[in-house]
Structure 1
């Protein structure tokens, strides 16, 4: 069993290291086996279904960390209690399983925060804001605007199809161009539109 623990630890640590390096160079993100980005995943069901909870947090990163923990705990327990192998295996297995759930839950929580941030920006559409950094015209570049959103002053990058909009101008958000980027237009431009232009 000691060989099993050793190889599990080596494989887990190696895969974690590879993934961290690839993530640092922007080559790969977390490989999900379940859609942990869905904020509707509910891990607090009334039936407390452990299997369902575990399935909801499975990911490549969580699995390899769990494998490494299984190997490390197994090795440590075997060194400390060489004659208690069945107990050592149970301890290592439970440690790995607990780690799998904990890391998976943390990853799911991070994805939920990211999703919530993306969803909240959609509420800026139709709101007025103030240009913080002038916005180049004709979608030729990005400026910045501040928008009061859910009681907080939020800063976003912004583009416009109009001519350049100067700092301090009042604008209205017409759409979300991309994550973190709003499309805006001058409030005066909307107010001066004729009925034909708005239809």
Structure 2
């Protein structure tokens, strides 16, 4: 049984060291896993991936170390097996939990235009109305100030407060007058 524990400790520890060295050299950016599923960036931080190479190799290495430790005390092989399984499982869970915690700290940072819907802004370049010719508005989305092309059913003057009601295309929004201040253009009759 000593040979099995030693082989597991060397194999698991070797994979962990190899992965550490490769990541420090920039060769391996992300943890390789056997089961990626259909994860999206946000979902990866919500799961506990026990099938990752890092978690499996930590579990294997600590299984071997735990078993070797119990055998070195002269205790029975069956006890060494159970202690090795417990220590290895704990190590795999710990590594998976630490990886999940680190993934939760990551931030995408890219602008998602759908977050502009419902945001208020101000007309920068008057909007003629009728949805034919765009004007421009200044909006704050995700903490960033944007200048977007804007269309509206109604004509809106420069400086009018507006609310984004729809996304028309990349960088183009549909706006409506803000309930607090209409800002409609005075159109001569």
Q: TM-score, normalised by structure 2?
A: 0.54
- Which consecutive unaligned segments of at least 5 residues does structure 1 have? 44-52, 129-170, 176-181
For the aligned residues, what is the CA RMSD? 4.2
Asked if 1:106 corresponds to 2:107, the answer is no
Asked if 1:81 corresponds to 2:74, the answer is yes
Displacement of 1:110 in angstroms is 2.1
Q: Which residue matches 2:31? A: 30
Asked if 1:64 corresponds to 2:57, the answer is yes
CA, structure 1 residues 69+39, in 2 after alignment: closer, same or farther (shift >3 Å)? same
**For residues 102 and 40 of structure 2, what CA distance do their matches in structure 1 show?**
8
1:58 is paired with a residue of what secondary structure? coil
**For residues 121 and 110 of structure 1, what CA distance do their matches in structure 2 show?**
22
Structure having the higher Rg: 2
Contact 2:16 2:58 (C-alpha < 8 Å) held by counterparts:
yes
**For residues 67 and 173 of structure 2, what CA distance do their matches in structure 1 show?**
70
Which protein has the bigger helix share?
1
CA deviation vs aligned residue, 1:143-190 (integer Å, no higher than 9, x gap): xxxxxxxxxxxxxxxxxxxxxxxxxxxx75679xxxxxx79449xxxx
**For residues 173 and 57 of structure 2, what CA distance do their matches in structure 1 show?**
56
Contact 1:125 1:173 (C-alpha < 8 Å) held by counterparts:
no
**For residues 24 and 145 of structure 2, what CA distance do their matches in structure 1 show?**
31
CA, structure 1 residues 8+98, in 2 after alignment: closer, same or farther (shift >3 Å)? same
Q: 1:118 aligns with which of 108, 129, 133?
A: 108
**For residues 42 and 21 of structure 1, what CA distance do their matches in structure 2 show?**
24
Contact 2:45 2:100 (C-alpha < 8 Å) held by counterparts:
no
CA deviation vs aligned residue, 1:79-102 (integer Å, no higher than 9, x gap): 0124x1101111101111121122
Q: TM-score, normalised by structure 1?
A: 0.51
CA, structure 1 residues 57+109, in 2 after alignment: closer, same or farther (shift >3 Å)? farther
Contact 1:70 1:92 (C-alpha < 8 Å) held by counterparts:
yes
1:118 is paired with a residue of what secondary structure? coil
State how many pairs are aligned. 134
2:3 is paired with a residue of what secondary structure? helix
- Which consecutive unaligned segments of at least 5 residues does structure 2 have? 121-137, 149-156, 159-171, 175-189
